[in-house]
Structure 1
């Protein structure tokens, strides 16, 4: 992380020993170790929080994608229901039209059987 080698650490240790003195060096090392441990735990905690958030975000995106697919399924089902309603109303119209046609045929259709539509043909003569 800081790219500090052995010789850099040795120089820092010697300078610290000269500045602080040998009697306060163990306490300073202990305090530095505690702070280093706290910083390490804090960094690992932040990393785990970030990883958890990324996983939660991925799951949220997957749920949204699934939800969008479910929405599409609902649209398809609504369209099927609308098509069934249209088919039913069309069938009702066809039935009503057929009934009206039969009714009209029954009211005027019986009278046409008495009329000879082609008088040139004699019913007694065979057709050639």
Structure 2
């Protein structure tokens, strides 16, 4: 800190002997020594208190960090992440569902506007369920513009 060499110390000693005198020099040196000792002690105490305050601050940070780590529950973090993803998926499916419903409504309304009422032919119940095979209808008549199926053409040929 202070750059004092032996030559400066020798000059200070000679001046002290001349100013104070050789008789009172030992008492002066003792007082100066005690004062320097007190200053060193004060500086050491200040440095120790400063270091202790730093350690306490670091310990508080470490305690806080350890407390945060202890309170960290991976199950809760995973649960929150999954909940968020499910919410996002639910909102996306709701949007798609609304879009599909809107498209369906538009298609139905356009079909209803363009549709002409058709004559409905009554279905006659012959009362002979055993005569008709399941899945076939012998009484079915072809609709105009519709080609007869292979079964109908085979029956007509027989």
How far is 1:59 from its partner?
A: 1.2
Q: What is the rounded CA distance, in whole Å, between the counterparts of 2:52 and 2:22 in structure 1?
A: 45
Q: How many residues align?
A: 89
When Rg is computed on C-alpha atoms for both structures, the one with the higher figure is: 2
Q: Equivalent residue for 2:7?
A: 7
C-alpha distance in 1 between matches for 2:32 and 2:46: 21
Map of 2:48 onto structure 1: 48
Matches within 5 A, 1:8-27: 8-27=8-27
Task: Provide Cα deviations, 1:76-111, integer angstroms capped at 9, x if missing partner.
Answer: 53873996xx9xxxxxxxxxxxxxxxxxxxxxxxxx
Structure 1: any 5+ residue segments left out of the alignment? 87-115, 122-128
Tell me how far apart the structure 2 counterparts of residues 119 and 57 of structure 1 sit (CA, whole Å): 90
For residue 120 of structure 1, the aligned residue among 137, 145, 153 is: 137
In 2, distance between residues paired with 1:80 and 1:67?
Answer: 21
* Change in CA separation of 1:12 and 1:77 when aligned onto 2, cut-off 3 Å: same
> What TM-score results when the alignment is normalised by the length of structure 2?
0.46
Q: Which runs of 5+ in 2 are unaligned?
A: 87-132, 139-158
Cα separation, 2, equivalents of 1:117 and 1:64: 78
- For 1:1-128, what aligned pairs fall within 5 Å after superposition? 1-71=1-71, 73-74=72-73, 76-77=75-76, 80=79, 118=135, 120=137
Kindly report the root-mean-square deviation, in angstroms, between the aligned alpha carbons of the 2 structures.
3.0
Question: Taking structure 1 as the reference length, what is the TM-score of the superposition?
Answer: 0.56
Q: CA deviation at 1:5?
A: 1.1
Q: Which has the higher helix share?
A: 1
Change (3 A) 1:21 1:118: same
